[in-house]
Amino acid sequence: MADLSVVFAGVSMKNPVIPASGTFGYGREYDQFYSISRLGGISVKGTTLAPKAGNPPPRIAETPAGMLNSVGLQNGGAKKFLEYELPNLKSKDLAVIANIAGATVEECRQLAELIDGSDVDMIELNISCPNVKQGGAAFGTNCNSAAEVTRAVRGATSKPLMVKLSPNVTSITDIAKAVEAEGADAVSLINTLLGMRIDIKTRRPVLKNNVGGLSGPAVFPIAVRMVWQTANAVSIPVCGMGGIATAEDAVEMMMAGASCIQVGAALFADPFAPLKIIDGLDRWCNENGVKNISEIVGTVRPW
């Protein structure tokens, strides 16, 4: 068998496959069907300081080659995560990545400070959230606000810090450089692209929130392009995501520069997708003479 183990921003994982935040909950439901210890890691449901009910339904809709969602970070809050979910996850053999989100810089800082004293292996800071003190614009759409929130979180924790980047920007490499300069140990990308669909019978958007995040195979080429650009612009490692559904997709994303990958929308079509990707990576490596999966990272040869 090929060696699929990776070390990402100092965190060791048995393979590079991680279910993306918001698509796998805390792993409890999936663990009824297969051992989630087979995974390299898990990025848990986006966690906020206080519990959140999320947006009103309908908040998920299927689209050609993907899906729209405006779930709105529904979760039980940081206290429930740390006291109830984290102990269960730490009983599994996988890296636990805490995805955190706040409406202000101070909320993000407080979350990082809370989690710093826990057994979490890594923090993933979601900067696609609206900054309520800056008119509702997402932290991650502006270099200054992305840098500010990263600096605050970096100062509150010694955990490895990965910043999850929004693709809804003019230049994702500028945002990546800004968070790297403020102490991010890694970046993950891409988060969902803002999209909209309309029911032509009712003349209303299919989502109650009107717009939502587009994910799935439709966004994969955009994700590959942004991962490639970012990996060539920063010196910190990149976790690639966005439409990955097969082992071949994972290989392509890693060749673009991703050191590990996250699987999201594919789980809604096939709950076993991460395991199939892991097995497929092993087969691909054996068929192509690759002894360690990390050998392929960033090996694309542009024309």
Spot the catalytic one: 129, 239, 260, 285.
129
Neighbour-count burial of 273, counting CB atoms closer than 10 A to its CB (0-12 exposed, 13-18 middle, 19+ buried): buried
Per-residue pLDDT in tens (0 to 9) along the chain, 303 residues: 899 999 999 999 999 999 999 999 999 999 999 999 999 999 999 999 999 999 999 999 999 999 999 999 999 999 999 999 999 999 999 999 999 999 999 999 999 999 999 999 999 999 987 666 776 678 999 999 999 999 999 999 999 999 999 999 999 999 999 999 999 999 999 999 999 999 999 999 999 999 999 999 999 999 999 999 999 999 999 999 999 999 999 999 999 999 999 999 999 999 999 999 999 999 999 999 999 999 999 999 999
CATH of span 6-296: 3.20.20.70
State how far Cα 105 lies from the chain centre.
20
Residue 108 among the catalytic residues: no
**Domain spans of the chain, in order of start:** 6-296
Cβ atoms < 10 Å from Cβ of 50: 10
Q: Which positions ≥6 away from 39 have C-beta within 8 Å?
A: 15, 17, 18, 19, 94, 274, 278
pTM exceeding the 0.95 threshold for the entire prediction: yes
